[in-house]
């Protein structure tokens, strides 16, 4: 879910917090584990909405959750 923000910093902060919350809530990671995974396995993309608001999306690679896969 995106919210309207005027600052790219606020948009990045919002996307980061939502991804961290997702990883901790759905995958059972600790905060430190979520940060570690996000540093190597999450891509953030920046977009500009037509009316001047900014948006940032975060994408985590599913391969990090495959059981038995040697990464």
Residue 71's pLDDT is what?
Answer: 47
Residue 48's pLDDT is what?
Answer: 73
Residue 4's pLDDT is what?
Answer: 58
Cα dihedral sign, 29-68-66-15: positive
* DSSP codes, the chain: ----BS-HHHHHHHHHHHHHHHHHHHH---HHHHHHHHHHHEEEEEEE-TTS-EEEEEEE-GGGG-TT---
The string of pLDDT tens digits covering residues 12-60 is 999 999 999 999 999 999 999 999 999 999 999 998 776 777 889 999 9
Longest dimension (CA), the chain: 46
């Amino acid at each position: 879910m995106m919210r309207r923000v005027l600052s790219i910093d606020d948009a990045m902060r919002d996307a980061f917090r939502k991804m961290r919350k997702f990883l901790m809530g759905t995958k059972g990671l600790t905060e430190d584990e979520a940060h570690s995974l996000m540093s190597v396995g999450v891509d953030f993309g920046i977009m500009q909405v037509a009316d001047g608001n900014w948006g940032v999306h975060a994408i985590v690679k599913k391969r990090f959750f495959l059981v038995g896969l040697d990464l």
